[in-house]
Amino acid sequence: MRVFAILAPLAIGALAPGGATAQQPKTKAAAPRDWSTHVVQAPSGAYLIGNPTAKVRLVEYLSYTCGHCAEFMAEAKLPLKNGYVRRGTVRIEVRHAVRDPIDMAAALLARCAGPGGFVSATDAIFAEQRDWARRGAAWWSANAAALQSETRLMQLKAAAEGSGLSGLMRGRGMSDATIDRCFATPTDLNRLTAMADASWKVIRGTPTFVINGKTGGGGHWETLEPELRAAGAR
């Protein structure tokens, strides 16, 4: 009886959690990575959004004052950025095809947000395009002549204020000091000018899309998506 009393707790312990015969807890699968938050700047100045090893490479030539570009962004945001890009099967390269001073001011502000803020700034600018683009065109027409003596950056900064673009960015949390820095040095202006010049040498209008090195996609999401899927987007 004494031996049984000593061994019984050992036998029970072997069946308890953590014992030799206990069932081990299942390992929870890691959540898939959200590649839409992976944003870097290429040496050319273009922004790259998504998985660097994505099977589908989509180049977007966009202008912030292009109405068709705004329509495309509204159509494509959920299925493209929140779908294919998030899952890692498509990477986007945004190349600016600047068309006018208000467009350049918008591009400088969006890029000033840096890799972490570029995508959301771009989305906000396109979402409010109907308002600021109309105001900006009227403002530029009325004030361009008076700005001729100012530097190019000061002209663009004034255009950003007059169009309401700076106010839009302030509403998103961009400080006045940051906005000042957006127009303080010519580095990004020169980079954008070079990018735009290069863009307009290979495209005729915006938006234009290049899928894995081949131009296509039409100008709408409904024509672009089938080509992305045919190239391997899932």
Which helix (DSSP H) or strand (DSSP E) does residue 182 occupy? helix 176-182
Q: Does the pLDDT value for residue 1 go beyond 60?
A: no
- Which superfamily does 36-231 belong to? Glutaredoxin (3.40.30.10)
Q: What is the pTM of this model?
A: 0.86
The mean pLDDT value of the chain amounts to 91
* Residue-range domain boundaries for the chain: 36-231
Beta-strand (E) ranges in the chain?
A: 39-41, 47-49, 56-62, 90-96, 208-211, 214-216
* Nearest Cα to Cα of residue 109 among 57, 44, 175: 175
pLDDT digits (tens, 9 = 90+) for 93-139: 999 999 999 999 999 999 999 999 999 999 999 999 999 999 999 99
Cα–Cα distance for residue pair 203/210, rounded to 1 Å = 10
Q: Which two tokens stand for residue 92?
A: 């986007």
